[in-house]
Amino acid sequence: MTTNETNDDASDIANEWLVSDILIRAVEPEDAPGVTALMNLPGYRWGTMRLPYQSVSTTRQKMSTSGPNFVCLVAISKDEIVGMASLTRFEGRRSHVGAVGMGVHDAYVGNGLGSRLLTSLLEVADDWWALRRIELTVNADNARAISLYEHMGFEREGVLRDYALRGGEFIDAVSMARFANKPRAGKSSET
């Protein structure tokens, strides 16, 4: 899956300069150093669960997930990895559910790249896996991410108190989910 997309929104020339000519493609093993550099950025770490000083070998371990239930995309600008987004489909009685994780380079946030990455994942979720529920957890003070997710159809489900430690303080998280279609009216009689 290789998509070379262009930014249609020409209203902001600076933004267009940042996000035009960005290639979105599947992550490859040789991307590990670039993904590591992305994940070690302070803004990326602030919004995600990454630890400081992530090594390339740790990244390689995380990237070793593969197979038919995992899609991981990277965004490339001028040979630099400037964004990443993954979708994992669960198994068994949760095979209708997927989980999203994503992040954009500190210098590129707020320019539509997150929307493009998430749109690409949602196309997989809707058109190739027919997922009913897509879930994620976001830091409660990550207003940009929450705004993006709400624009893309995610709803807030609840607050997870003291969910994680970040730079010496416990922070809350918000559980969010997007539902691809309406719930069935009736319940199965089988239990």
Task: Catalog residues that contact ligand COA under the rule CB under 6 A.
Answer: 43-44, 47-48, 102-104, 109-115, 136, 138, 142-145, 147-148, 151
**How far apart are the C-alpha atoms of 104 and 111, rounded to whole Å?**
10
**How far apart are the C-alpha atoms of 105 and 42, rounded to whole Å?**
10
Q: How far is the CB of 180 from ligand COA (least distance, A)?
A: 17
Nearer to ligand COA, 69 or 137 (CB): 137
**How far apart are the C-alpha atoms of 10 and 157, rounded to whole Å?**
35
Q: Which residues contact 102 (CB under 8 A, 6 or more apart)?
A: 83, 84, 85, 86, 114, 117, 118, 121
Q: How far is the CB of 35 from ligand COA (least distance, A)?
A: 13
Nearer to ligand COA, 122 or 138 (CB): 138
Nearer to ligand COA, 87 or 145 (CB): 145
Q: How far is the CB of 146 from ligand COA (least distance, A)?
A: 8
Nearer to ligand COA, 43 or 132 (CB): 43
The one-letter code for the residue type at 36 is T
Sheet (strand 169-179) strand order: 2-4, 23-26, 70-77, 80-89, 97-104, 133-139, 169-179, 155-166
Nearer to ligand COA, 150 or 162 (CB): 150
Q: How far is the CB of 69 from ligand COA (least distance, A)?
A: 20
Q: How far is the CB of 184 from ligand COA (least distance, A)?
A: 28
